[in-house]
């Protein structure tokens, strides 16, 4: 039979360390990136986030292979991402996510 203190320590470890890691990484977009010339266009999944304030609207676009949290796709010419007729700025991969595209519109 396990000692109660060992069980409590393991539960405490799980709650403080393992559970947050799983929750923070489980639904996130991958940080890995592949160029669009290596992907079939029909396999690309699109994900958009739109936020707005009175002063501006911001759009973030992710292009992925492998579903909602798959590998991000860096668009190669002639591929491009546009918002209201303007080409979106490419945001390079960072610690939180892979390649994405961003646009901001005033008003």
Q: How far apart are CA 98 and CA 79, in angstroms?
A: 17
The pTM assigned to this predicted structure is: 0.70
Integer Cα distance of 77 and 21 in angstroms: 37
Per residue in 11-41, pLDDT tens? Answer: 655 556 554 554 444 445 678 899 999 999 9
- E strands in 1-107: 33-35, 44-52, 56-65, 71-74, 82-83, 86-87, 89-91, 100-106
Condensed to tens digits (0 to 9), the pLDDT of residues 34-92 reads: 999 999 999 999 999 999 999 999 999 999 999 888 999 999 999 999 999 999 999 99
Residue 26, pLDDT score: 45
């Amino acid at each position: 039979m396990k000692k109660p203190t060992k069980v409590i320590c393991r539960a405490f470890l799980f709650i403080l360390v393992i559970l947050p890691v799983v929750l923070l990484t489980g639904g996130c977009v991958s940080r890995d990136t592949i160029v669009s010339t290596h992907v079939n266009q029909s396999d690309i999944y699109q994900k958009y986030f739109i936020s707005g304030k009175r002063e501006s609207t911001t759009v973030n676009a992710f292009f992925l292979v492998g579903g909602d949290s798959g590998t991000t796709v860096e668009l190669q010419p002639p591929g491009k991402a546009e918002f209201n007729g303007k080409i979106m700025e490419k945001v390079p991969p960072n610690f939180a996510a892979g390649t994405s595209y961003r646009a901001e519109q005033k008003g």
